Structures are given as C-alpha cells and as structure tokens.
Amino acid sequence: MKLKKKIKIGIDSPSAAGAGTISKMLAKNYNLLYCDTGKIYRYMAKQIIEKKPLDKIKFLKKISKKINLKKLNNKNLLTDDVAYIASQIAKDLRVRKLVVKFQKDLAYRPPKKFNGSILDGRDINSKIVKDADFKFYVTASVTERAKRRFKELKKLGKKVTYSKILKNLKRRDLEDRSRRYSKLKKTKDSTLINTTNLSIKGSFLKVKKIIDKKLNI
C-alpha cells in the first residue's frame, strides 16, 4: 500500500500494555519504519551490565553513536533486570539527550521505501515527535499487563514468577511517571486506547479504524 503522504505515528504507554504488538501490526499494515524506543534504553542498560564502566556517561556517549535498529533486535534485552537498569538510566537527562537524534532521524527520515514511521515509548508524543500525525496513549490495568509479561517471558523460557513481575511493573510505572524528565504521561492531543479487555486484534483494529478514517481509506 502506498499512502498519499508520509505519516508519523507516536505511541506512548506503560510497559507491557500491548503498545509494541499494536505498533508492529500498524507498521506492517501501513508499511512504516518501526522503533520500540524502550529497546534503546534497554540496549544501553545491557551494555552497562556487561561492561561495568566506571564512567557511565562517557561510556554511553561512545556506544550511543553506534546504536542501530539491528542491535536493538535482541531477545536478551527483554529481561526484568535489564528493564530495571534501563529505567534507572532513562531518568538521567544526559542519557536521554544522547539518543534524541537517533530517534528523530528514524521518525522524520525513514528510508524512502516506507510510508512513514511509528515509534513507541514514554515520551514520543511529548518530546520526540511532538507533531506526529497520529498520537495514541495505550494502556491496560497493571494486573493485566503483568499477566501478559509473565506469559511472554515464560514463552521465552525465562524463570519468572507472576508476583515478581507485578511488583517490578508497579515499581517501574511509579518511577517512569514520577521522574523529572520525559515522564510517562498521556498528552492532551493523544487518543486513549485501553487494552485491558481487548484482544491483540481488537486493539489493533480500534487504532486502525481511527487512522483509516483520518486518512480517508
């Protein structure tokens, strides 16, 4: 499918609300470049865990220049330990600044073959792609999100318990919502999509309907 004009979609959400799955489906449907921006922070976190640098900022400055989408596509980034460190470093404005350009380049300058871009994260609609053509805030109850994350990690063969996942999600929600910079929040101009009682397909179709209507297709 070729769209009449290039589009940018921004999706913000707390962890495990289904935003990633919906974004991937939208990217496929409209032929958009997709980036799960949480993976950028997870990638940096994983590197810190492995290399244990003394000067974290100096180290991150160096590796941030070499980040690309291929490096972010790694199942090892999915663990809760990595997520926790990711949320810790993501609080630091100096760290966030290192990866703004990478995200903006993807959003505003996707390769020609795409009809545009879709980014999901915490601060996409408030900071990274403020002028996105379509803005959504995807959420679900924390217990539903914990259930989904539990299933996902089990499937990957990870040793996890539901209660620990729930606890970690609550902690990360609180930290992401109350930090000083680029807090997780719904911007006024984004559409709320609550996926608690929706299937993956149902969530996707709900968002697609809104986009199709505005695109006149």
The contact set with ligand C5P (CB under 6 A) reads 15, 37-38, 41-42, 83, 86-87, 90, 121-123, 172, 176
* Backbone angles phi and psi of 187, in degrees to 5: -75, 155
Six token digits for residue 160 = 């996890």
Which candidate, 132, 67, 58, places its Cα nearest to that of 102? 67
Minimum CB distance to ligand C5P smaller for 144 or for 176: 176
What does DSSP say about strands 7-12 and 134-139: parallel, antiparallel, or unpaired?
parallel
Minimum CB distance to ligand C5P smaller for 3 or for 24: 24
Least distance between ligand C5P and beta carbon 207 (Å): 18
Minimum CB distance to ligand C5P smaller for 37 or for 190: 37
Least distance between ligand C5P and beta carbon 85 (Å): 9
Which candidate, 27, 30, 41, 42, places its Cα nearest to that of 4? 30
CB 15 within 8 A of CB 80: no
d(CA 18, CA 34): 15
Minimum CB distance to ligand C5P smaller for 174 or for 217: 174
What residue spans of the chain are helical by DSSP H?
A: 19-30, 38-51, 56-64, 69-72, 80-89, 93-98, 100-108, 142-155, 162-178, 200-215
d(CA 24, CA 120): 10
Least distance between ligand C5P and beta carbon 198 (Å): 19
Minimum CB distance to ligand C5P smaller for 72 or for 215: 72
Least distance between ligand C5P and beta carbon 135 (Å): 14
CA distances, 73 to each of 40, 56, 82 (Å): 10, 23, 14
d(CA 93, CA 197): 35
Minimum CB distance to ligand C5P smaller for 12 or for 32: 12
Least distance between ligand C5P and beta carbon 121 (Å): 2
Least distance between ligand C5P and beta carbon 74 (Å): 12
